[in-house]
Amino acid sequence: MGMHVVFSVGTAGSGKSLLTSALREWLEEKGWGVYIANLDPGARNLPYEPDADIRSIIDINELMEKHGLGPNGALILAVDMAAARLHEVLQDIDEASPDYLLVDTPGQMEPFVYRPSGPLIVEQLPGTSKVMLFLMDGWLVSNPLNYVSIQLLAASVRLRFPVPFVQLLTKADLIEDQVDRVMSWSSRPSELEDAISSSSDGEAYLMHRRLLSMLARGGYIEKPIPVSAVTRAGFLSLSSALANILSGGEDLQD
């Protein structure tokens, strides 16, 4: 088989780096060769040792100093530079040709998602198949109002990347007693509506309900896979979802 590429995106703090790290260990235990590419130029204290790293060619502090930029501007410039110099970032990976390449994206989604560079990177990165994991922060979306907002964000992000999308509900171990409730929202919008009505009133209630029913009618409330990078809960479901997408269901699981 060729190289399968798995991108992770999600709002800041949703658990991208931790999941990337845990997923590598899991896949390696199953016997696969796994590499990680870190595309966050501003990462500090990553929970894994990246095999390819945007930071090896771009120093964000140097960018800030050299171009008189604040951290926002420097992050954006760095991602743009990474797109232009992708082959340099990936040099070692091309040679190793692992079964999986896990790509950890910038801590804040914005410079990757809403600039031309992110979609360019996803398109140009070599690989026989690609998939994007959209991480919904378990803490954040166990509030029904946040859930609707993040589902709209997911739909928006999805349009930016023409690759298969898998929604994950992260930190399942931390919101254990909430997982069933949140999961029920995706299969039964009426339960989400009830939850919205008990968390809001007046105009906020009407607006959430209206957008929710819009998403539900469009078939855009997807059932996420609840996962925990700590307990590995949900990793079997995640790996079989990846198997289905990446290799048409063949031999990806043990």
- Alpha-carbon distance of 41 to 89, in angstroms, equals 11
* Element at 175 (helix H, strand E): none
By CB under 8 A, residue 150 contacts a second copy = yes
By CB under 8 A, residue 214 contacts a second copy = yes
Which of these segments, 23-31, 183-191, 200-208, 242-250, binds a second copy (CB under 8 A)? 200-208
By CB under 8 A, residue 217 contacts a second copy = yes
By CB under 8 A, residue 29 contacts a second copy = no
* Element at 91 (helix H, strand E): helix 86-96
Extract the runs of DSSP E, i.e. beta strands, from 108-193: 129-136, 165-169
By CB under 8 A, residue 174 contacts a second copy = no
Taking the least distance from each CB to a second copy, the nearer of 27 and 221 is 221
Which of these segments, 149-157, 181-189, 226-234, 244-252, binds a second copy (CB under 8 A)? 149-157
Size of the site for a second copy (CB under 8 A): 53
- Alpha-carbon distance of 114 to 140, in angstroms, equals 21
DSSP 3-state of 52: strand
By CB under 8 A, residue 77 contacts a second copy = no
Taking the least distance from each CB to a second copy, the nearer of 73 and 126 is 73
Q: C-alpha angle with apex 175: 148 to 16, nearest 5 degrees?
A: 70
Strand partners, 135: 10, 168
The label of the residue with tokens 């994950």 reads: 168
Min separation Cβ 17 and a second copy, Å: 11
By CB under 8 A, residue 243 contacts a second copy = no
By CB under 8 A, residue 39 contacts a second copy = no
Strand partners, 42: none
Min separation Cβ 246 and a second copy, Å: 17
By CB under 8 A, residue 179 contacts a second copy = no
By CB under 8 A, residue 248 contacts a second copy = no
| Chain contacts with a second copy (rule: CB under 8 A) | 11-13, 40, 42-45, 60, 68-76, 106-111, 114-115, 140, 145, 148-150, 152-153, 155-160, 162, 203-204, 207-208, 210-211, 213-215, 217-220
